[in-house]
Amino acid sequence: MHSDRSETSPKLAMPDRLHRPEALRALVNAMVVAAGWTPEQARETADHLVLANLSGHDSHGVGMLPLYFQSLADGNLKPGSGPTDRLNAAPFLIVDANVALGQPVARNALERAIPMAKTGGVAILNLLDAHHVGRIGHYAELAAEAGLISLFWVNVAGRPPIVAPHAAREARFGTNPHAIGIPLPGGDPVILDFATSRMAHGKARVAFNRGVPVPEGYIIDSQGRPTTEPRHVFLHGVGADEGLGALLPFGDHKGAGLALIAELLSAGLMGAARIDQKPAKSWIINSLFGVLIDPARLEPDEALRKERIESYLAFVRAAKPQDAASPVLTPGEKERATRLARGRDGIPLDAETWSQIVAAAKRHGVDAESYGKDP
């Protein structure tokens, strides 16, 4: 095992500080408005990012803000950018986002596709070249709230490849997430949301900022050697003589194959930005391909749908756990439990991530430290 822990961390790991969810929402709102976006766009961005933290997905939470603001400073992300339709003819909605702020433009596109699916039974959504759209499971949850089954594939462009194909020693993919949502009438939906890499790049960022290693088998260095050091997948973490390493795909050829499919479906077929097309400056571009399905077309009897889903979920949860302290969960349950805990106890942010947020806010005249932290 190749290990170089002494060089990994920007600083020694320090205890996380707890932040009230409402304080973080207010801070993100203030930062996004100060940078030039509308209050509505700021509210959607804040709600999305903080909900990601509440759900335990810190990789897609408020720690992304400094990267957004760097894209803004580089001139790649512009408050005035807005979407245009390429095709609006049910069941197809194809939207060119023109690198607009991702969370608001993605939600708007989804909200326009939902009525198509309810009217015609299905909708095909392709959102092209948005800035980072955030946690993909968020959109599966929104579709489920509208009573729709959803399937999403997303690519990551505008940055160097960071995930290696199976059996390769260098990267060719983004983390290219998938999400699937199945609504449960009168209950919580099934939400499956995962990156096609063994860990999200953002989770490696959180580990790097905290100064902690990642599990074995997740990362290789630029020479293809296994490492537990997250610095190897960040340009600012590797030395000039090293080069970037790579995240490994989950499930070997299975995750790698899904990553390739996500690239082609979301961006490749429509000519949107791909991972192999490098920008002049680093940014994060997502294209999203989604399918929305009205489950009433599959089984009109809502009570039957509910019974069939609940009975199978109960069967799965009843499996004997390997560890009695860790019961078997179905997709989406862990996030809902984490939301309750963090809503009560606060959202943990490591010192490095908080310092980056403070610096980004200061550049736009916002005093992040004035927003309450400890619950």
For residue 15, the domain's CATH number is 3.30.1370.60
Cα 88 to Cα 116: distance, rounded to the nearest angstrom:
10
Residue 12 pLDDT grade (very low, low, confident, very high; cuts 50, 70, 90): low
Average pLDDT of the segment spanning 198-226: 92
Note whether residue 315 is domain-resident: no
Which run of H or of E encompasses 155? strand 149-157
Would you state the pLDDT for residue 99? Answer: 96
Which residue type occupies 104? Answer: P
**Bridge partner list, 92:** 89, 124
Would you state the pLDDT for residue 373? Answer: 58
Residue 196 pLDDT grade (very low, low, confident, very high; cuts 50, 70, 90): very high
Residue 279 pLDDT grade (very low, low, confident, very high; cuts 50, 70, 90): low
Note whether residue 219 is domain-resident: yes
The answer on pLDDT for 356 being more than 90 is yes
Residue 38, Cβ neighbours under 10 Å: how many? 13
The answer on pLDDT for 198 being more than 90 is yes
Write out pLDDT tens, residues 300-348: 999 999 999 999 999 999 999 999 999 999 999 999 999 999 999 999 9
Would you state the pLDDT for residue 7? Answer: 40
Write out pLDDT tens, residues 116-159: 999 999 999 999 999 999 999 999 999 999 999 999 999 999 98
Q: How is residue 207 annotated by DSSP?
A: H
Cα 305 to Cα 61: distance, rounded to the nearest angstrom:
34
**Gap between the terminal Cα atoms of the chain:** 41
Note whether residue 282 is domain-resident: yes
Which is it for the CA torsion 262, 263, 264, 268, positive or negative? positive
Residue 220 pLDDT grade (very low, low, confident, very high; cuts 50, 70, 90): very high
Average pLDDT of the segment spanning 359-365: 97
Q: Count how many domains the chain has.
A: 1
Would you state the pLDDT for residue 229? Answer: 96
Residue 283 pLDDT grade (very low, low, confident, very high; cuts 50, 70, 90): confident
Would you state the pLDDT for residue 210? Answer: 87
Average pLDDT of the segment spanning 99-120: 98
For residue 343, what are the domain limits? Answer: 5-309+331-370
Note whether residue 325 is domain-resident: no
Main-chain phi, psi angles of 267, to 5 degrees: -125, -40
Note whether residue 318 is domain-resident: no
Would you state the pLDDT for residue 236? Answer: 85
User: 243 or 136: which carries more pLDDT confidence?
Assistant: 136
Note whether residue 321 is domain-resident: no
Mean pLDDT across the chain, nearest whole number? 93
Would you state the pLDDT for residue 201? Answer: 87
Closest CA to 54 of 261, 324, 335: 335
Note whether residue 54 is domain-resident: yes
The answer on pLDDT for 3 being more than 60 is no
The answer on pLDDT for 60 being more than 70 is yes
The answer on pLDDT for 6 being more than 90 is no
Note whether residue 39 is domain-resident: yes
